[in-house]
Amino acid sequence: MPELPEVETIVRDLRPRLHARRIAAVWVGEKSLRRPYDPQWTPKLIGRRIKSLSRRGKWIVLCLDKNVYLVFHLGMTGQLTVVSRKEPVLPHTHLILRLKPFGRDPAEEPSRQLRFRDIRRFGSITFFADETKLMEFFNQSHLGPEPFGLDSIYWQNCLARTSRCLKAVLLDQRVLAGIGNIYSDEALFEARLHPKRMGRNVGSKEASRLRRAILTVLNRAIEKRGSSIRDYVSGNGNRGEYQEEFRVYGRFGEPCPRCGRPIRRIRLAGRSTHFCPGCQRQT
């Protein structure tokens, strides 16, 4: 599933290509996503100008004029790209927004399309008629704060009050938005903390070390344009590169890049979890 670095990369790629464009037409596929597309949304989209594109957790928020919103979740295999209308429409494409060219003469610039593709159909597209409804949606989702600018006292309190393991805490979107299986493993390795450690047993210095490790890993992953394990591509249709730098995730049995001991794999919080038994001691 695409995590924060992948979603952030897509937003950064698409933002300059979508800004100030108007939606000329909407095409919707026949198969439903996790949240079915409502045909009544289509006339509310046509003619709208795109004001901004942003990210909240793993959600992509397209803000249109008159403060209406189209919100995308990539699920496990979602792809959101801008391509020329001449590009063949790939199977499993569920939504196409045709964008008006700039200028008076349509021939001045090739017509582009924003396309949403999702092979496994766990993603979603949702329309919100105003900012209040959008905020209600995110409030009901109980999304925690973003990792960037994370308050240190809030973070220490979150850990001190829970008996859950660190891996479960990092995966909980109500505690911290945007982190999933890949970057929780990588951040814990960076911080030299065992994924089984209970939050309440983590001291303030270790909590701070983990907070810094999260930012280090996320920033590096964004710099490398995310991780392409299976289906993820950026907004330009290109693969990420951070998978080439994984230090523990997906490296079961391989030597630790720090100490050389074989990377171990266990199951925690319902997810496969990778760590180094030498660098990440449980006690």
pLDDT of residue 1: 77
The band of 277, judged by pLDDT with boundaries at 50, 70 and 90, is: very high
The band of 178, judged by pLDDT with boundaries at 50, 70 and 90, is: very high
pLDDT of residue 126: 97
Residue 161 designated active-site: no
pLDDT of residue 103: 61
Residue 262 designated active-site: no
Of the residues 3, 6, 186, 190, which is catalytic? 3
Write out the two tokens for 172.
């909980």
pLDDT exceeds cutoff 70 at 85: yes
pLDDT of residue 231: 82
**What integer is the mean pLDDT of 249-255?**
97
**What integer is the mean pLDDT of 38-55?**
96
What does pTM read for this prediction? 0.94
Closest CA to 7 of 222, 170, 253: 222
Residue 58 designated active-site: yes
pLDDT of residue 138: 94
pLDDT exceeds cutoff 70 at 186: yes
Question: What is the DSSP code string of the chain?
Answer: ---HHHHHHHHHHHHHHHTTPBEEEEEE-SS--SBPPPGGGHHHHTTPBEEEEEEETTEEEEEEGGGEEEEEE-TTTEEEEEEETTSPPPTTEEEEEEEPPSSS-GGGS--EEEEEEESS---EEEEESSHHHHHHHHHHHT----STT--HHHHHHHHHT--SBHHHHHH-TTTSSS--HHHHHHHHHHHT--TT-BGGG--HHHHHHHHHHHHHHHHHHHHTT---SSS---TTS---SGGGG-SSTT-TTSBPTTT-PBPEEEEETTEEEEE-TTTS---
Rounded Cα gap, residues 238 and 221, in angstroms? 15
> Domains in the chain and their CATH numbers?
4-141 (3.20.190.10), 152-275 (1.10.8.50)
Write out the two tokens for 101.
């060219």
The band of 60, judged by pLDDT with boundaries at 50, 70 and 90, is: very high
- The mean pLDDT value of the chain amounts to 94
pLDDT exceeds cutoff 70 at 106: no
The band of 160, judged by pLDDT with boundaries at 50, 70 and 90, is: very high
The band of 276, judged by pLDDT with boundaries at 50, 70 and 90, is: very high
More confident residue, 34 or 230: 34
Tens-digit pLDDT profile for residues 226-250: 999 888 988 888 999 999 999 999 9
Tens-digit pLDDT profile for residues 204-230: 999 999 999 999 999 999 999 999 988
pLDDT of residue 152: 95
pLDDT of residue 111: 81
Write out the two tokens for 195.
């994924």
Of the residues 58, 112, 167, 247, which is catalytic? 58
pLDDT exceeds cutoff 60 at 125: yes
Percent of the chain with pLDDT over 70: 97
Of the residues 212, 224, 258, 271, which is catalytic? 271
pLDDT exceeds cutoff 70 at 191: yes
pLDDT of residue 109: 57
CB 190 within 8 A of CB 245: no
